[in-house]
Structure formats: C-alpha cells, structure tokens
Amino acid sequence: MTDDASKTTAPQVDAVRPAKKKNKSFSAPKGVLDYVPSRSATFVAVREAFAQNAAAAGFGHVELPVFEDTELFARGVGESTDVVSKEMYTFEDRGGRSVTLRPEGTAGVMRAVIEHGLDRGQLPAKLSYTGPFFRYERPQAGRYRQLQQFGVEAIGVDDPALDAEVIALADRCFRSIGLDGYRLELTSLGDSTCRPQYRQKLQEFLLGLPLDEETRRRAHINPLRVLDDKRPEVKEMTAEAPLMLDHLSAEAAEHFDTVRSYLDALGVDYLVNPRLVRGLDYYTKTCFEFVHDGLGAQSGIGGGGRYDGLMAELGGQDLSGIGFGLGLDRALLALEAEGKSFGPQSRVDVYGVAMGREAKAQMVHLINQVRQAGLRADMSYGDRGLKGAMKGADRAGARYALVLGDQELEQGTVVVKDLAAHEQVDVALVDVVQVLRRRMA
Ligand code: HAM
C-alpha cells in the first residue's frame, strides 16, 4: 500500500485510538555473533575451503550433537581446566540429566568413535567437523561465547608422520584462504613416562616462589598453566622454570624430532616454543598453536595436538589420536587484519530488471533458466522503476543486468548490460542464456 492510499483509506477511528506501544526488540545474547551478508558469505567460503582441504587429505565428515553428557567433558577435557571449571554451559534437561553445550569438539568425536566402533575399522579413523562451540568466557574482540571451529581428528595410530600431516593440513587451510601473517608454534608435552616427573619438578619450583594465593592454587592443580601467565611479574619469576622439552623421555624426544623432520621436509615453517601451554588437559607429546600477529590479545587462530590417553579415559581402547581446531571467527578477523577478502565478492552474476506485468512474467521464466544453466541470478521485485531496479543490480554485485520492457518484448529481445564494462547489447530472448554462459565462462 502506498502512503497516499493509506491516507485515503485509513478509517477515522484510528485517529482517536491510543498509539500502539512498540514491542521491545531483541539483541543476540552477550558475546554471541551473528553472521549476516556480506560477511556470512566469507564465513561460508572459509569453512568450505577448510573442509575441502581436509577432504583432500582423506578426512570424512562427522556431524555430532551440540550437547553431550556433562561427564564427557569433565573427564575428557579435564576438571582442572578453565574450560570445564568456569566456562561450561551446563544445565539439567527435563529428564533430570546434566547436559553441557559442547565447549570443544575432540571429546565428542572420541565418544562417537567409541560408540560407533570406528576404532575397530581402518586406522587412523580420520574425521572432520565444524560448527558452534560454547564457552562462558569474558567477551572481547575475537573472544566469543559461541565460537565457530573447523576441526579434524586422526585417531588410532601413534605415528609422527600423522602429527606432521595434521599440522601441515592446518597450515594449508590457512594458506588456502590467503593468510600469511601468522606463525606456527610447536612443542612437546611429553608422555606418561616423563610428564609426571616433570610436573612434580615444576611444581616444586613454583611452590618455592612468592606467588599470590590464586597462582599458588593453580600451581597445585595444574602447574603448567602457571607458565602461561601473562603478568610480567609472574613471567619474570618463572623465567628459569624447568621446561618439559628438557625432560622428555627418549621416546617422546624421538617422536618430537621426527615430527620436526617431517615438517621440514614438507616446507612447513614453525617455531619451537617450549613454554607453549594449551588450555585443555588431554594433550601429550606434540602440541601446536597458530598465532596471528594482527589480532591483539586473542591471537590464537587455531591449535591442537596429540592426546594419547583420551580414548581410554573415555572408556574405549587405549589408542592415541591427534587433531586440531581452527577458529573460523578468528580466521575472518585475520583476513580483515591482513586486508584480504576470500570467497564470492558478489551475491549474484546476473540480475533481471523487468518493466511491466508481461515483461515480469517473461523475466521470472528467464531468470529460472539462467539459474538452471548454473549461474547465480536474482531479479528485481516490487515494481521499483528502472532506476531503483538498477540500483538493486549494483547492490547485488551482478556482472550483468538483463533489462526487459515493452519494446524488447515486442522485438523478442533482452538488453544485456555489462555492468563492469558499462556496455550493452540487444540479444534475442532465445539466445540470452547461451550468451551469458559464454561470457561468464
Ligand atoms: P582450542 O585451542 O581451545 O582447541 O580452540 C581452537 C581454536 O578455537 C582457537 O585457536 C581459537 O582460534 C578458537 N577459539 C577458542 N575459543 C574461542 C573463543 N572464545 N572465541 C573465538 N574463538 C575461539 C580446541 O578446542 C581443541 N578441541 C582443538 C583440538 C582438536 N585439539 C586436538 N584436536
């Protein structure tokens, strides 16, 4: 209805009715992002590029629940981690079960592998996944309460070549979307033969320091986390702390050396960071993080590692695994920080503009044919007039506009406007699809 029409047809009684109160509108929950066009197109393109790289390396997709038994994360990720102790979205369902929105993907994948007996098939079981994860963190730029990851897990084989493949795959994922302003940091967290002794050594060292109460408590529960403390005074105090890399068992040291030699052979650059600490408890041996220089405090764009005891911890066989999680939200921020774009820069290739009822009927048909020919196409709706409709073509980022009015209908032609070259030609209606296909090829 136009404004004029509403003026003439609105019943008089409306004027004396009290103005209707506007309903409250809503915002997304705190720390939770919406992806809307055009950023959402980049999001999908990045996610698909990552998935393609994983598929090319033989990873099969798994689609898993976003909530699981709370116990799975408590046991899998570790009670002493911030993720489990402070950040989980845990609630009781109507049946009285404690469930938790998944804070990460590895524990759920492992649960599914055990449940479906994938560990009894060909090994390693190579699986990829993507979707939202939930952590009640303090929101800030690059740190969200619903975060999006793309991840892979390769389960069942303890082979340094597999560690190198997984790390190289993560690197390829980032490179394939055009990122290069990041570094790969690598370390080994040792195995069950050397880690306990090292942990005790580190703990003794830390408890001899004048730490504040909270940090002292952490040194008791999870001493490695203290090495990750960003406060300068703590950093200074722990500068001489014993390092895991100096206390590796012969087997863990050989594993680490072999991973490194494979990465060298693959041409994947890395930096050994003996103080690298991950926020999840299940890691053993190889551990890594991709750190981007343009993201400020939340600089980890992806990370992962080997987790040799996890499957047994979750009631399965005693098999090892390695994987990574890449942050999709942060990958987008990294692209923006590097001033790069990825994925389609337009919504459609072709945009139809029809003037008049008959022309519109013809255009509906024509646009349908263009889509069937494999081109992306949209058209103007709502009788906006030529100028408004052409603006729509521009906004959609179309390469070609198809204009159809009475004159063209009479001649059986369509005006094909090349919006980039600012040229136009009349093309017979029957030939339009073919002409567009040729030009877009
Ligand atoms: P993570 O390091 O906790 O590892 O998360 C992986 C990536 O998810 C991070 O590097 C970061 O890019 C992104 N991320 C994490 N938290 C947030 C947040 N609050 N907001 C935005 N992005 C975030 C894991 O989750 C492991 N499951 C990875 C893994 C798989 N390890 C072995 N297999």
* Dist. CA 388 → ligand 1 center (Å): 45
Instruction: Give pLDDT, residue 384.
Output: 84
Indicate which atom in ligand 1 lies nearest the CA of residue 290. Answer: 10
| Tokens found for residue 218 | 């952490």
**What is the gyration radius of the CA atoms in the chain, in angstroms?**
29
Residue 316, marked binder:
no
Ligand 1 lined by 108 (C-beta under 6 Å): no
| Single-letter amino acid, residue 415 | V
CATH of 38-193+249-338, one of 1.10.8.420, 3.30.930.10, 1.10.260.40, 1.10.357.10: 3.30.930.10
Tokens of 118: 């994938």
Q: What pTM, to 2 d.p., does this model score?
A: 0.92
Residue-range domain boundaries for the chain: 38-193+249-338, 350-440
Contact by Cβ (8 Å): 46, 302: no
- 38-193+249-338 and 350-440 share one CATH topology? no
Confirm or reject: Cβ of 324 under 6 Å from ligand 1: yes
Confidence (pLDDT) at 19: 72
Distant-in-sequence, close-in-space partners of 8: CB < 8 Å, separation ≥ 6:
none
Q: Which two tokens stand for residue 426?
A: 């009349």
360 lines ligand 1 (CB under 6 A): no
User: What parts of the chain have a pLDDT lower than 70?
Assistant: 1-18
How many residues are present in the chain? 441
Identify which of 82, 87, 104, 128 to mutate to test ligand 1's pocket (most ligand atoms within 8 A of the CB): 104
Tell me the C-alpha distance between 288 and 389, whole Å: 52
172 in contact with ligand 1, CB cutoff 6 A: no
pLDDT at 283 (0 to 100): 94
Query: Do 41 and 82 form a contact (C-beta atoms < 8 A)?
Result: no
- Would you say 439 is a known binding-site residue? no
- Distance from Cα 218 to the centre of ligand 1, integer Å: 21
CB 129 within 8 A of CB 62: yes
Does ligand 1 come within 6 angstroms of the Cβ of 148? no
Q: 301 CB less than 6 Å from ligand 1?
A: yes
Site to probe by mutation for ligand 1, drawn from 50, 135, 147 as the one with most ligand atoms within 8 Å of Cβ, is: 147
Strand partners, 210: none
Pair 68, 102: CB distance under 8 Å: yes
Q: How far apart are CA 340 and CA 291, in angstroms?
A: 18
Q: Kindly give the pairing relationship between strand 98-101 and strand 67-69.
A: antiparallel
The answer to whether the CB of 259 falls within 8 A of the CB of 163 is yes
pLDDT at 4: 40
User: Is the shortest distance between the CB of 147 and ligand 1 below 6 Å?
Assistant: yes
Query: At what angle are helices 160-176 and 39-56 packed, to 10 degrees?
Result: 150
Known binding residue 282? Answer is yes
Report how far ligand 1's centroid is from the alpha carbon of 306 (Å).
14
Residue 106 Cβ < 6 Å to ligand 1: yes
Taking alpha carbons only, the member of 131, 110, 164, 141 closest to residue 321 is 110
Q: Relative to the CA of 83, which ligand 1 atom is closest?
A: 3
Q: Residue 125 corresponds to which tokens in the numbers above?
A: 């079981």
Instruction: Collect all residues with Cβ–Cβ distance below 8 Å to 34 and sequence separation of at least 6.
Output: 28
The CA distance from 205 to 242, in Å, is 8
Q: Answer left, alpha or beta for residue 365, where phi above 0 means left and psi between -120 and 50 means alpha.
A: alpha
CA 167 to chain centre: 17
The H or E element spanning position 133 is: strand 125-134
Pinpoint the alpha helices (H) of 280-356: 310-313, 328-337
CA 260 remoteness from chain centre? 27
Neighbouring C-beta atoms of residue 55, cutoff 10 Å = 12
Residue 9: per-residue pLDDT: 46
Question: Which ligand 1 atom is the nearest neighbour of the CA of 289?
Answer: 10
Closest atom of ligand 1 to 105 CA is: 27
- Measured by CA distance, the residue closest to atom 26 of ligand 1 is 325
**For 350-440, which CATH superfamily applies?**
Anticodon-binding domain (3.40.50.800)
Q: How far is the CA of 186 from the centre of ligand 1 (A)?
A: 16
Q: How far is the CA of 101 from the centre of ligand 1 (A)?
A: 15
